[in-house]
């Protein structure tokens, strides 16, 4: 790391030094955080990404084997998948779905009161 004397730093980088050394800097904590931070996808999120009933059955089998689904829920999901198809699990989650979801939530948080807020305080 390069070390600079404060005055030398001011002379070499006047605008940057003014921003860094001023008292009027924005705090990072005041910015809106990722609204999907700590979000853990569930079985319905996974089923919303599949392209066929066969893929959906593979996902259910996999999560049941890992112990993330009970046998009862897995059987119920399989039945729903076979009788109603993948459409039964809602809107198809295409590439960029979660990015758009996070953007919309962030926009909602910002428009709620017209200012930038820490979304973690709203939970």
pLDDT of residue 18: 84
Residue 64 belongs to some domain of the structure: yes
Residue 82 belongs to some domain of the structure: yes
pLDDT of residue 26: 56
Residue 1 belongs to some domain of the structure: no
pLDDT of residue 119: 44
Mean pLDDT of successive 10-residue stretches along the chain, which has 123 residues: 81 86 60 76 92 96 96 97 93 87 83 54 42
The pTM is what?
0.59
Closest CA to 90 of 49, 62, 54: 49
Residue with token string 């076979």: 82
Residue 69 belongs to some domain of the structure: yes
Its domain, for residue 86, covers: 6-122
Number of compact structural domains in the chain: 1
Rounded Cα gap, residues 82 and 79, in angstroms: 5
pLDDT of residue 121: 44
């Amino acid at each position: 790391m390069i070390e600079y004397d404060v005055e030398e730093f001011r002379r070499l980088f006047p605008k940057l030094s003014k921003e860094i050394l001023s008292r009027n800097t924005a705090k990072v904590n005041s910015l809106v955080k990722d609204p999907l931070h700590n979000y853990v996808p569930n079985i319905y999120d996974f089923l919303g990404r599949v392209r066929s009933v066969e893929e959906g059955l593979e996902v259910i089998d996999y999560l049941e084997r890992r112990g993330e689904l009970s046998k009862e829920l897995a059987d119920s999901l399989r039945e729903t998948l076979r009788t109603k198809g993948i459409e039964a699990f809602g809107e198809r989650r295409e590439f960029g779905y979660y990015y758009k979801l996070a953007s919309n939530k962030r926009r909602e948080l910002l428009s709620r009161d017209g200012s930038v807020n820490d979304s973690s305080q709203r939970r």
